[in-house]
A and B are shown apart, each in its own frame.
Chain A
Amino acid sequence: MDWQGQKLAEQLMQILLLIAAVVAFVVGYTTASFRTMMLIYAGGVGVTTLITIPNWPFFNRHPLKWLDPSEAEKHPKPEVVVSSKKKSSKK
Protein backbone atom coordinates (compact mmCIF):
# COMPACT_ATOMS: atom_id res chain seq x y z
CA MET A 1 0.00 0.00 0.00
CA ASP A 2 1.16 3.52 -0.69
CA TRP A 3 0.81 6.49 1.67
CA GLN A 4 -2.48 7.69 0.19
CA GLY A 5 -3.77 4.15 0.36
CA GLN A 6 -2.91 3.83 4.01
CA LYS A 7 -4.70 7.05 4.86
CA LEU A 8 -7.72 5.88 2.86
CA ALA A 9 -7.69 2.51 4.62
CA GLU A 10 -7.66 4.13 8.05
CA GLN A 11 -10.46 6.58 7.24
CA LEU A 12 -12.58 3.88 5.62
CA MET A 13 -12.13 1.64 8.63
CA GLN A 14 -13.22 4.31 11.11
CA ILE A 15 -16.21 5.50 9.09
CA LEU A 16 -17.47 2.01 8.25
CA LEU A 17 -17.29 0.89 11.87
CA LEU A 18 -19.13 4.00 13.07
CA ILE A 19 -21.87 3.52 10.49
CA ALA A 20 -22.19 -0.15 11.43
CA ALA A 21 -22.51 0.82 15.09
CA VAL A 22 -25.17 3.47 14.47
CA VAL A 23 -27.23 1.24 12.18
CA ALA A 24 -26.92 -1.66 14.64
CA PHE A 25 -28.06 0.44 17.59
CA VAL A 26 -31.00 2.04 15.79
CA VAL A 27 -32.29 -1.25 14.38
CA GLY A 28 -31.76 -3.04 17.69
CA TYR A 29 -33.50 -0.35 19.72
CA THR A 30 -36.53 -0.08 17.44
CA THR A 31 -37.00 -3.84 17.21
CA ALA A 32 -36.29 -4.22 20.97
CA SER A 33 -33.84 -6.98 20.19
CA PHE A 34 -30.38 -6.89 21.72
CA ARG A 35 -29.40 -9.91 19.64
CA THR A 36 -30.19 -8.11 16.35
CA MET A 37 -27.97 -5.23 17.37
CA MET A 38 -25.05 -7.54 18.09
CA LEU A 39 -25.51 -9.48 14.85
CA ILE A 40 -25.65 -6.36 12.69
CA TYR A 41 -22.57 -4.93 14.38
CA ALA A 42 -20.67 -8.19 13.95
CA GLY A 43 -21.63 -8.20 10.29
CA GLY A 44 -20.42 -4.62 9.98
CA VAL A 45 -17.07 -5.51 11.53
CA GLY A 46 -16.72 -8.43 9.11
CA VAL A 47 -17.46 -6.25 6.06
CA THR A 48 -15.01 -3.59 7.26
CA THR A 49 -12.35 -6.24 7.69
CA LEU A 50 -12.83 -7.43 4.12
CA ILE A 51 -12.64 -3.91 2.73
CA THR A 52 -9.76 -2.39 4.67
CA ILE A 53 -7.34 -5.15 5.61
CA PRO A 54 -6.38 -6.93 2.38
CA ASN A 55 -4.04 -5.12 0.01
CA TRP A 56 -6.56 -4.15 -2.66
CA PRO A 57 -5.31 -2.44 -5.85
CA PHE A 58 -7.33 0.73 -5.23
CA PHE A 59 -5.13 1.38 -2.21
CA ASN A 60 -2.10 1.57 -4.48
CA ARG A 61 -3.11 4.26 -6.94
CA HIS A 62 -0.25 6.62 -6.02
CA PRO A 63 2.68 4.22 -5.92
CA LEU A 64 6.01 5.40 -4.52
CA LYS A 65 8.75 6.00 -7.05
CA TRP A 66 11.77 4.03 -5.84
CA LEU A 67 15.15 4.66 -7.40
CA ASP A 68 15.89 2.48 -10.46
CA PRO A 69 18.54 -0.26 -9.70
CA SER A 70 20.71 0.71 -12.66
CA GLU A 71 20.70 4.31 -11.43
CA ALA A 72 21.81 3.16 -7.98
CA GLU A 73 24.96 1.49 -9.37
CA LYS A 74 26.12 4.82 -10.83
CA HIS A 75 26.15 6.38 -7.35
CA PRO A 76 27.91 3.92 -5.06
CA LYS A 77 27.51 4.17 -1.29
CA PRO A 78 30.33 6.13 0.40
CA GLU A 79 32.86 3.89 2.25
CA VAL A 80 33.28 4.16 6.02
CA VAL A 81 36.81 5.44 6.89
CA VAL A 82 38.39 3.99 10.09
CA SER A 83 40.66 6.65 11.69
CA SER A 84 44.26 5.68 12.66
CA LYS A 85 43.91 7.20 16.19
CA LYS A 86 41.36 4.57 17.17
CA LYS A 87 43.63 1.75 15.99
CA SER A 88 46.55 2.81 18.14
CA SER A 89 44.44 2.98 21.34
CA LYS A 90 43.20 -0.58 20.84
CA LYS A 91 46.73 -1.97 21.17
Chain B
Amino acid sequence: MHSFGYRANALLTFAVTILAFICAIASFSDNFSNQTPSAQIQILNINWFQKQPHGNDEVSLTLNITADLQSLFTWNTKQVFAFVAAEYKTSQNSLNQVSLWDAIIGEKEHAKFWIQISNKYRFIDQGHNLRGKDFNLTLHWHVMPKTGKMFADKIVMSGYRLPDAYR
Protein backbone atom coordinates (compact mmCIF):
# COMPACT_ATOMS: atom_id res chain seq x y z
CA MET B 1 0.00 0.00 0.00
CA HIS B 2 3.03 2.14 -0.32
CA SER B 3 2.32 3.85 -3.64
CA PHE B 4 -0.55 5.06 -5.82
CA GLY B 5 -0.11 2.22 -8.24
CA TYR B 6 -0.14 -0.41 -5.51
CA ARG B 7 -3.32 0.94 -3.91
CA ALA B 8 -5.06 1.47 -7.24
CA ASN B 9 -4.29 -2.10 -8.27
CA ALA B 10 -5.57 -3.52 -4.98
CA LEU B 11 -8.73 -1.46 -5.16
CA LEU B 12 -9.49 -2.38 -8.76
CA THR B 13 -8.95 -6.09 -8.19
CA PHE B 14 -11.14 -6.15 -5.10
CA ALA B 15 -13.85 -4.08 -6.79
CA VAL B 16 -14.05 -6.43 -9.77
CA THR B 17 -14.09 -9.52 -7.54
CA ILE B 18 -16.97 -8.10 -5.54
CA LEU B 19 -18.75 -7.20 -8.77
CA ALA B 20 -18.55 -10.85 -9.80
CA PHE B 21 -20.11 -11.84 -6.48
CA ILE B 22 -22.93 -9.32 -6.86
CA CYS B 23 -23.74 -10.65 -10.32
CA ALA B 24 -23.69 -14.25 -9.08
CA ILE B 25 -26.10 -13.40 -6.27
CA ALA B 26 -28.32 -11.49 -8.68
CA SER B 27 -28.48 -14.57 -10.90
CA PHE B 28 -29.20 -16.80 -7.91
CA SER B 29 -32.09 -14.57 -6.87
CA ASP B 30 -33.85 -15.58 -10.11
CA ASN B 31 -34.57 -18.98 -8.55
CA PHE B 32 -37.02 -17.31 -6.17
CA SER B 33 -39.25 -15.72 -8.78
CA ASN B 34 -42.75 -17.09 -9.23
CA GLN B 35 -43.23 -17.99 -12.88
CA THR B 36 -46.69 -18.69 -14.27
CA PRO B 37 -46.61 -18.50 -18.06
CA SER B 38 -49.55 -19.56 -20.19
CA ALA B 39 -50.11 -20.14 -23.89
CA GLN B 40 -52.62 -21.40 -26.43
CA ILE B 41 -52.12 -22.27 -30.07
CA GLN B 42 -54.88 -22.74 -32.59
CA ILE B 43 -54.44 -24.01 -36.12
CA LEU B 44 -56.79 -21.86 -38.14
CA ASN B 45 -56.14 -23.34 -41.54
CA ILE B 46 -54.03 -25.85 -43.41
CA ASN B 47 -52.99 -23.74 -46.39
CA TRP B 48 -51.54 -26.59 -48.40
CA PHE B 49 -50.11 -30.05 -47.84
CA GLN B 50 -47.93 -31.47 -50.59
CA LYS B 51 -45.14 -33.84 -51.40
CA GLN B 52 -41.99 -32.03 -52.59
CA PRO B 53 -40.11 -33.09 -55.74
CA HIS B 54 -37.45 -34.75 -53.55
CA GLY B 55 -40.05 -36.86 -51.81
CA ASN B 56 -40.41 -34.98 -48.52
CA ASP B 57 -43.78 -33.87 -47.20
CA GLU B 58 -44.37 -30.21 -46.65
CA VAL B 59 -47.30 -28.49 -44.96
CA SER B 60 -48.14 -24.81 -44.56
CA LEU B 61 -50.29 -23.77 -41.60
CA THR B 62 -51.89 -20.60 -40.37
CA LEU B 63 -51.42 -20.41 -36.62
CA ASN B 64 -53.08 -18.28 -33.98
CA ILE B 65 -50.69 -17.99 -31.03
CA THR B 66 -51.82 -16.45 -27.73
CA ALA B 67 -49.36 -16.27 -24.86
CA ASP B 68 -48.72 -14.51 -21.59
CA LEU B 69 -45.04 -14.75 -20.70
CA GLN B 70 -44.91 -11.64 -18.52
CA SER B 71 -44.22 -13.52 -15.29
CA LEU B 72 -40.96 -14.85 -16.75
CA PHE B 73 -39.38 -11.37 -16.66
CA THR B 74 -37.34 -10.60 -13.52
CA TRP B 75 -35.05 -7.68 -12.71
CA ASN B 76 -32.22 -9.74 -14.16
CA THR B 77 -33.86 -10.54 -17.52
CA LYS B 78 -32.41 -9.19 -20.72
CA GLN B 79 -34.82 -10.84 -23.15
CA VAL B 80 -36.94 -13.93 -23.65
CA PHE B 81 -36.56 -16.07 -26.75
CA ALA B 82 -39.73 -18.02 -27.54
CA PHE B 83 -40.35 -20.51 -30.31
CA VAL B 84 -43.11 -22.89 -31.38
CA ALA B 85 -42.10 -26.38 -32.49
CA ALA B 86 -44.19 -29.14 -34.00
CA GLU B 87 -43.28 -32.46 -32.40
CA TYR B 88 -44.23 -35.89 -33.70
CA LYS B 89 -43.00 -39.46 -33.94
CA THR B 90 -42.17 -41.41 -37.10
CA SER B 91 -40.92 -44.92 -37.76
CA GLN B 92 -37.54 -43.44 -38.66
CA ASN B 93 -37.12 -41.03 -35.69
CA SER B 94 -38.53 -41.34 -32.20
CA LEU B 95 -38.84 -37.56 -31.98
CA ASN B 96 -39.05 -34.99 -34.73
CA GLN B 97 -39.05 -31.31 -33.77
CA VAL B 98 -39.69 -28.74 -36.46
CA SER B 99 -39.48 -25.08 -35.49
CA LEU B 100 -42.38 -23.16 -36.98
CA TRP B 101 -42.09 -19.69 -35.47
CA ASP B 102 -39.91 -17.76 -33.07
CA ALA B 103 -39.64 -14.32 -31.54
CA ILE B 104 -37.34 -12.32 -29.32
CA ILE B 105 -39.26 -10.50 -26.60
CA GLY B 106 -37.25 -7.56 -25.33
CA GLU B 107 -39.64 -6.00 -22.81
CA LYS B 108 -42.15 -7.28 -20.32
CA GLU B 109 -44.95 -5.30 -21.96
CA HIS B 110 -44.48 -7.20 -25.22
CA ALA B 111 -44.64 -10.58 -23.49
CA LYS B 112 -48.43 -10.77 -23.48
CA PHE B 113 -49.37 -11.14 -27.12
CA TRP B 114 -51.76 -12.53 -29.71
CA ILE B 115 -50.48 -13.20 -33.20
CA GLN B 116 -51.98 -14.78 -36.27
CA ILE B 117 -49.49 -15.79 -38.96
CA SER B 118 -48.54 -18.56 -41.30
CA ASN B 119 -45.51 -20.55 -40.19
CA LYS B 120 -42.31 -18.51 -40.31
CA TYR B 121 -40.14 -21.54 -41.04
CA ARG B 122 -41.08 -24.34 -43.39
CA PHE B 123 -42.60 -27.48 -41.98
CA ILE B 124 -40.82 -30.17 -43.98
CA ASP B 125 -40.65 -33.79 -42.93
CA GLN B 126 -37.75 -36.19 -43.39
CA GLY B 127 -39.73 -38.47 -45.65
CA HIS B 128 -43.43 -38.67 -46.34
CA ASN B 129 -44.89 -39.54 -42.95
CA LEU B 130 -47.18 -36.59 -42.34
CA ARG B 131 -50.47 -37.83 -43.71
CA GLY B 132 -52.89 -38.32 -40.83
CA LYS B 133 -50.11 -37.61 -38.35
CA ASP B 134 -50.91 -36.62 -34.73
CA PHE B 135 -48.53 -33.99 -33.43
CA ASN B 136 -47.93 -31.67 -30.48
CA LEU B 137 -47.27 -27.97 -30.72
CA THR B 138 -44.85 -26.94 -28.01
CA LEU B 139 -44.05 -23.38 -27.01
CA HIS B 140 -40.44 -23.31 -25.75
CA TRP B 141 -38.86 -20.29 -24.12
CA HIS B 142 -35.35 -19.34 -23.05
CA VAL B 143 -35.09 -16.59 -20.43
CA MET B 144 -31.79 -14.85 -21.11
CA PRO B 145 -30.41 -13.04 -18.07
CA LYS B 146 -28.36 -9.88 -17.80
CA THR B 147 -25.87 -11.91 -15.76
CA GLY B 148 -25.77 -15.58 -14.89
CA LYS B 149 -27.78 -18.69 -15.67
CA MET B 150 -30.25 -19.00 -18.53
CA PHE B 151 -33.51 -20.80 -17.81
CA ALA B 152 -35.46 -22.74 -20.40
CA ASP B 153 -38.83 -24.43 -20.19
CA LYS B 154 -41.85 -25.27 -22.33
CA ILE B 155 -45.57 -25.84 -22.56
CA VAL B 156 -46.73 -28.86 -24.55
CA MET B 157 -50.07 -28.62 -26.32
CA SER B 158 -51.29 -31.83 -27.87
CA GLY B 159 -54.21 -32.96 -29.93
CA TYR B 160 -53.35 -31.62 -33.38
CA ARG B 161 -53.68 -33.78 -36.45
CA LEU B 162 -52.77 -33.38 -40.11
CA PRO B 163 -55.24 -34.41 -42.83
CA ASP B 164 -55.14 -37.91 -44.24
CA ALA B 165 -54.57 -36.81 -47.84
CA TYR B 166 -52.54 -34.20 -49.66
CA ARG B 167 -54.29 -30.93 -50.56
Give, as a whole number of angstroms, the nearest-CB distance from B155 to chain A. 25
A53 at interface (Cβ–Cβ under 8 A)?
A: yes
Question: Chain A residues with Cβ under 8 A from B4's Cβ?
Answer: 53-55
Decide if B1 touches A6 in the complex (CB within 8 Å): yes
- Interface residues of A toward B: which range? 20 to 34
Question: Chain B residues with Cβ under 8 A from A34's Cβ?
Answer: 26, 75-76, 146
Decide if A49 touches B21 in the complex (CB within 8 Å): no
Q: Is the interface of A mostly helix, strand, loop or mixed?
A: helix
- In the complex with contacts A33-B75, A53-B7, A13-B14 CB distance below 8 A: yes
- Taking a contact as CB atoms closer than 8 A, the residue among A9, A13, A41 that contacts B22 in the complex is A41
Q: Report B's interface with A, CB cutoff 8 A.
A: 1-2, 4, 7-8, 10-11, 14-15, 18-19, 21-22, 25-26, 29, 74-76, 146
Q: Report A's interface with B, CB cutoff 8 A.
A: 1, 6-7, 9-10, 13-14, 17-18, 21, 24-25, 28-29, 32-34, 37, 41, 45, 48-49, 52-55
